[in-house]
Structure 1
Amino acid sequence: MPKVDIGDAEIYYEERGEGAPIMFVPGLGGGGAVWSNQVKALSGNYRTIVHDHRGCGQSTYSLIEYSVDQMAADAIKLMDTLGIDRAHWVGHSTGGAMGQIVAQDYPDRLASLVLSATWPGQDEYFNRAFTARKGVLSTLGTVEYGRHSILTLLPPWYVTENPDRVVEMEKYLAGSDQPVEIMESRIDAICAFDRRDRMGCIDLPVLVIVAEDDMVTPRYLSDQLAEGVPGAEKVILKTGGHFVLHVLVEEYNAALIDFIQRHPIA
């Protein structure tokens, strides 16, 4: 399986297709496999890259103090190793927070940025929600963490209609043999993230996409991004929850494809 050495960790990645590169960057769970539906849709015309964040999936389980800045730096090192000078960045949730950092600190590395179900900085609701999730993880363990989290990530109707798929997602959220300390640190990292004062510095094509019924990163956080980033476009999908990329696959992919096609890499 392909891994790259970024100095103090090995990062697992997969790539498919040829053409302009797209970095599909996952959220808090950190596993690149979440993008399977999007890779399938876009790899016919683009070079698609997914990776497991450090501490997740098949990448090195580093017992460090995690930060969103560190996660973004890891992704830049991956791009460097793969010879990718500029790419489209599609970041979901934590991957979108990472994308904001890259757009602000490494602006020459991105051709466009998709901010999917993400946030510009934490607030009282966000901190309460993730403090509760961390409490479940620390007190009850990874299995209960997965079972609890899934109820905030998906619309109730989807949970009812897709029980087998929901069980698969619960297992993903449980993090296999990932040490609990890593996810605890990653939760602390996202609660510390705040780039609201630099939204106006992002100078590239940006698409903000979110579901109306997202309970994890509610729509108003995406509204803040769309209003704060100059020229940002916004797509609001009627349902889908936080995992809208799994729930409304066709609608979500259509928005991605339309946006990326309109902003080719020169």
Structure 2
Amino acid sequence: MYTEVHGPADAEVVLLSSGLGGSANYWTLQIPMLVEAGYRVIAYDQHGTGRSRGALPGDYAIEHMAQDVRRILDATQSDHCHLVGHALGGLVGLQLALDCPERVRSLTLINAWSEPNPHSARCFDARLTLLADSGPRAYVEAQPIFLYPASWCAANAERVQAEVDHAFEHFPGADTMRARIAALRRFDVTARLVEIGVPVLISVARDDVLVPWTCSEQLARHLPDAHWHCVEHGAHAHNITAAGEFNDSLLSFVKNS
């Protein structure tokens, strides 16, 4: 898989795992900050996406994605990491902490969840219908609606359109996207959250239209060592739209974990 490594070789590792899009490029507002703070930062394109193209197995699951992270840690000679995951990437972090707890120093979960919910299911159904009936262009044109606040999209229209055009140009294919969505929709580990003993920063935006903020609240209730960070405005990708506040919270948490 395509992997980027930034920062000093002998520093503590922060591994960044992105959401459904799967791209290392998602973290452009976090990587320089973490490197400047002295961390070794690993970002990667998830299997089947971006520069890590390839067919996915028929039974593709979050467990496979966690195995990919373990292989990246092995390949970069990293014993363990502070894993930062956005949405689907947060599920990967939870799974890795359950499967290989010795590889995880801390988790940061951005608008993540531990079990399916009917609202997100409705959103994914709508996106899959767009993909099936209107094709990849319509699918990626709708993506900012689920990621960003409307006011932020309007104020950053050129940037948003550039992201949409890039997503269309690098669309991984309908089969891959359906397999990735199916994997995250099957994920359900609420009953096992008590097994996760590492510190977990739960970062949530109350105006997320894709994943209800109450899913993060449930994580906080069930995880033994949960730390809460909440923004009122920022939506599903608030580490981008409210990057300053998010970065401050992340850096403070990692330093103290």
TM-score by length of 1: 0.92
Distance 2:173 2:130 in 1: 15
- Mark the runs of 5 or more structure 1 residues left unpaired by the alignment: 1-10
Matched, 1:123 2:117: yes
How far apart are the structure 1 equivalents of 2:160 and 2:68? 30
Of residues 13, 16, 32, the one that matches 1:21 is 13
Mapped to 1, the partners of 2:112 and 2:171 lie a distance apart of 27
- Write the deviation string for residues 182-231 of structure 1: whole angstroms up to 9, x where unpaired: 00111111111111111111101110001110111121000000111012
- 1:41-60, aligned counterparts within 5 Å? 41-44=33-36, 45-60=38-53
Query: Residue 4 of structure 2 aligns to which amino acid in structure 1?
Result: E
Among 206, 214, 220, the alignment partner of 2:214 is 220
Residue 256 (structure 1) aligned to one of 235, 250, 253: 250
Equivalent residue letter for 1:12:
Y
Distance 1:231 1:116 in 2: 16
Q: Secondary structure at the match of 2:29?
A: helix
Using the alignment, how far apart are the partners of 2:118 and 2:125 within structure 1?
10
SS in 2 for 1:59: coil
- How many residues align structurally? 253
1:64 deviates by 2.4
Letter in 2 for 1:29: G
Contact residue 134 and residue 184 of structure 1 kept, 8 A:
yes
In 1, are the aligned partners of 2:119 and 2:211 still within 8 Å (CA)?
no
What whole-Å deviation, never above 9, does each CA across 1:43-64 have from its counterpart, x for those lacking one? 1210000000000000132142
- Choose which of 224, 228, 231 in structure 2 pairs with 1:234: 228
Distance 1:232 1:175, change over 3 A: farther
Q: Unaligned stretches of 5+ in structure 2?
A: none
Q: Which amino acid aligns with 1:255?
A: S
1:30 and 1:171 mapped to 2: Cα distance?
16
Q: 1:99 is paired with a residue of what secondary structure?
A: helix
Cα shift at 1:81: 1.2
**Cα distance in 1, alignment partners of residues 162 and 140 from structure 2:** 10
Deviation of 1:172 after TM superposition, in Å, equals 4.4
Identity level (%): 31
Q: CA-atom RMSD, angstroms?
A: 1.2
User: Cα deviation per residue 1:88-113 (whole Å; 9 max; x = unaligned)?
Assistant: 00011000001000111110001111
8 Å Cα contact 2:105-2:198 kept in structure 1: yes
* 8 A Cα contact 2:119 2:212, kept in partner: no
| Paired residue secondary structure (2:28) | helix
Q: Which runs of 4+ in 1 moved over 2 A?
A: 63-66, 171-175
Query: 2:48 matched to 1:64?
Result: no
Following superposition, the deviation at residue 175 of structure 1 comes to 6.1
Measured after TM superposition, the shift of residue 38 of structure 1 is 0.2
Paired AA for residue 131 in structure 2? L
Quote the Cα distance in structure 1 between the aligned partners of 2:92 and 2:45: 14
Match of 1:112 in 2: 106
Q: Aligned AA for 2:17?
A: V
Q: Secondary structure at the match of 1:41?
A: helix
Q: Which residue of 2 aligns with 1:208?
A: 202
| Residues in 1 aligned to 2:167 and 2:65: alpha-carbon distance in whole angstroms | 18
